[in-house]
Amino acid sequence: MAEAETPNRSPEIRKDKIHNRWVLFSPARSRRPSDFKAKSNPQPNNQTECPFCAGHEHECAPEIFRVPADSTNDWKIRVIQNLYPAVSRELDFQNPVSLVGDVAVSGFGFHDVVIESPVHSVNLSDLSPAQVGEVLLACKKRIEQLRSCDSIKYVQVFKNHGASAGASMSHSHSQMIALPIVPPTVSARLDSMMEYYKQTGKCSLCDIQPNELLIAESDHFISLVPFAATFAFEIWIIPRDHSSHFHEIDSEKLSANST
Amino acid sequence: MAEAETPNRSPEIRKDKIHNRWVLFSPARSRRPSDFKAKSNPQPNNQTECPFCAGHEHECAPEIFRVPADSTNDWKIRVIQNLYPAVSRELDFQNPVSLVGDVAVSGFGFHDVVIESPVHSVNLSDLSPAQVGEVLLACKKRIEQLRSCDSIKYVQVFKNHGASAGASMSHSHSQMIALPIVPPTVSARLDSMMEYYKQTGKCSLCDIQPNELLIAESDHFISLVPFAATFAFEIWIIPRDHSSHFHEIDSEKLSANST
């Protein structure tokens, strides 16, 4: 009975005309299951029930690719569709032009999952630097596929670690969302960086002086707490050489620096 | 020993030059006590230990005013300074001009508390419409005092209900923060509303068609779920007659409509 009442509408992107921003509505997200028992007491379930584990591939949404490409049961990484996507790759793209009134366009986009290990109990932090490099290379490869779609304007890679961070599955994974719009917070940051460049002739990220806020450094990256952090434990990883896109990163640098 | 290591620095407002925004840092906030035992199991403590209860006024930061003004032990509402303020009224105001580099200005501002009832167990929703009207009038009066300070550019009234919403004290209260800057989200909304006005000649809030999203209406206000809500259970209360400032509201309307 309750099942019959579950909302089954397609995702849509609604215009908030007061704030002049777009808000993503995704009824399907509320249907996704969780293997965390409770947010206040996150006890990952037994791996025999986990669809992200090796041997359970048939319980997942379609696979996009795996690493190594020619592996069978011995895969190391799988990139798959999200079974409960926030946006839908099956909808037609509608250009979200600015109109007066209550406007909504289809929630077109791609929402993928990167399973970072075939083993349930292995976290990203348990992997070797070379293995973490392979995960990042899988993200890079998928971004390059997504950006070949003309309607896609922005791709975000993110990882929720633990139930209180928003994760619903305890098996180590990242997610990727590709959208037909650039989110306002991102375009505001790009505008701000362009303004800084016009004023100083420099990139504001390259211009950061880590000083006492430095956490670690390697040949190609530095990691630090930003001077005006907005969250506790906020950390930025910045390439030493100016680089504007994650997917343009050198594969060798990625593997060598994932420490 | 741990006490001696507690940070005791003044609040400051730091410039995030990457995002071109200001971030408030307030070390004192982490020292504030809570009478909620745990976030996952909010059990308000006994009222004998609550500084917001009648008879415990001496345990609070200085009072700004009370309602009725000439009351003694029989007060109904008290507006007091926050003992653990996010901003400090004792700091000098520094104009946060845009500069290159890591810039921080003093965390000048006012952070007040409105104790909505002398009785520990009474929630705002337990009050009569006339009593809720008196709480809103107390907010209006304090806003009018704060805006007479030339350096204050923005006042926000907010209420955290329950520990998981961020409240540290279970006794019913609201808070008010007065800042020397207009937060970027607020100026972005004002810019957006101005743009809508230029395009249509109308106020975008007055132009809202509640339709099926209407929750309640009275002579002077409507309450509704916004078309592009960004949170579950988000509700807006909008005056029927165009009004640009909360503190300009008619006292009679407030008391008549706090249902």
**Number of domains composing chain A:** 2
Question: Do A85 and A12 reside in the same domain of the chain?
Answer: yes
The rounded distance, in Å, linking the Cα atoms of A135 and A76 is 9
Final residue of a structural domain among B181, B210, B241: B181
In a domain, A78, yes or no: yes
Question: Do B112 and B155 reside in the same domain of the chain?
Answer: yes
Contacts of A102 in chain B (CB under 8 A): 209, 227
The rounded distance, in Å, linking the Cα atoms of A164 and A66 is 29
Question: Do A177 and A212 reside in the same domain of the chain?
Answer: no
The token pair that represents B242 in the structure block: 């165009």
Q: What is residue A4's predicted lDDT score, i.e. its pLDDT?
A: 42
| Among B23, B40, B209, beta carbon nearest to A230 | B23
Catalytic residue among B111, B120, B171, B173: B173
- Sorting pLDDT into bands at 50, 70 and 90, what band is A28? confident
The alpha carbon torsion through A13, B231, A26, B208 (nearest 10 deg) reads -40
The alpha carbon torsion through A86, A90, A96, A101 (nearest 10 deg) reads -80
In a domain, B123, yes or no: yes
Burial label for B77, CB within 10 Å (0-12, 13-18, 19+), is buried
In a domain, A97, yes or no: yes
**How many percent of chain A have pLDDT more than 70?**
87
Question: Do A7 and A44 reside in the same domain of the chain?
Answer: yes
CB contact under 8 A, B16 and A230: yes
CB contact under 8 A, A204 and B17: yes
* Residue A144 scores a pLDDT above 90: yes
Mean pLDDT of A23-52: 70
Query: Is residue A177 within 8 Å of A160, Cβ to Cβ?
Result: no
Q: What is residue B4's predicted lDDT score, i.e. its pLDDT?
A: 42
Q: What is residue B3's predicted lDDT score, i.e. its pLDDT?
A: 41
B63 has which bridge partners?
Answer: B80
| Among A19, A20, A189, beta carbon nearest to B18 | A189
Q: What is residue B8's predicted lDDT score, i.e. its pLDDT?
A: 58
**Mean pLDDT rounded to a whole number for chain A:** 86
Domain region containing A74: 2-181
A66 has which bridge partners?
Answer: A78
* Residue A242 scores a pLDDT above 80: yes
In a domain, A186, yes or no: no
Mean pLDDT of A15-38: 80
Q: What is residue B6's predicted lDDT score, i.e. its pLDDT?
A: 44
Question: Do B6 and B38 reside in the same domain of the chain?
Answer: yes
* Residue A125 scores a pLDDT above 90: yes
- Sorting pLDDT into bands at 50, 70 and 90, what band is A94? confident
Q: What is residue B212's predicted lDDT score, i.e. its pLDDT?
A: 66
Question: Do A17 and A109 reside in the same domain of the chain?
Answer: yes
In a domain, A199, yes or no: no
Element holding A131 (H helix, E strand): helix A129-146
* Residue with the larger pLDDT of the pair B78 and A255: B78
Question: Do A177 and A208 reside in the same domain of the chain?
Answer: no
Contacts of A205 in chain B (CB under 8 A): 18
Q: What is residue B258's predicted lDDT score, i.e. its pLDDT?
A: 55
Q: Which of A5-14, A78-87, A155-164 has the highest mean pLDDT?
A: A78-87
Question: Do A14 and A69 reside in the same domain of the chain?
Answer: yes
Element holding B158 (H helix, E strand): strand B154-158
Question: Do A67 and A101 reside in the same domain of the chain?
Answer: yes
Query: Is residue B139 within 8 Å of B155, Cβ to Cβ?
Result: no
| Among B22, B23, B192, beta carbon nearest to A19 | B192
In a domain, B188, yes or no: no
Question: Do B245 and B169 reside in the same domain of the chain?
Answer: no
In a domain, A62, yes or no: yes
Distances (CA, A) of B71 to A139, B57, B77, B134: 66, 13, 10, 15
Question: Do A106 and A229 reside in the same domain of the chain?
Answer: no
Final residue of a structural domain among B149, B181, B213: B181
> A63: domain CATH number?
3.30.428.10
Size of chain A, expressed as the number of residues it contains: 259
Per-residue confidence of chain B (259 residues) as pLDDT tens digits?
334 444 457 898 888 889 888 889 988 777 777 777 544 444 455 556 899 999 999 999 999 999 999 999 899 999 999 999 999 999 888 776 655 567 888 899 999 999 999 999 999 999 999 999 999 999 999 999 999 999 999 999 999 988 877 788 899 999 999 998 888 889 889 999 999 999 999 999 999 887 768 999 988 999 999 999 998 899 999 999 999 999 988 777 776 655 5
Question: Do B175 and B236 reside in the same domain of the chain?
Answer: no
Residue B196 to chain A, least CA–CA distance (Å): 8
∠A58-A59-A65 over CA atoms, to 5°?
Answer: 60
Query: In degrees rounded to 5, what are phi and psi of residue A95?
Result: -70, 120
Final residue of a structural domain among B117, B152, B181: B181
Query: In degrees rounded to 5, what are phi and psi of residue A22?
Result: -105, 140
In a domain, B192, yes or no: no
CB contact under 8 A, A189 and B100: no
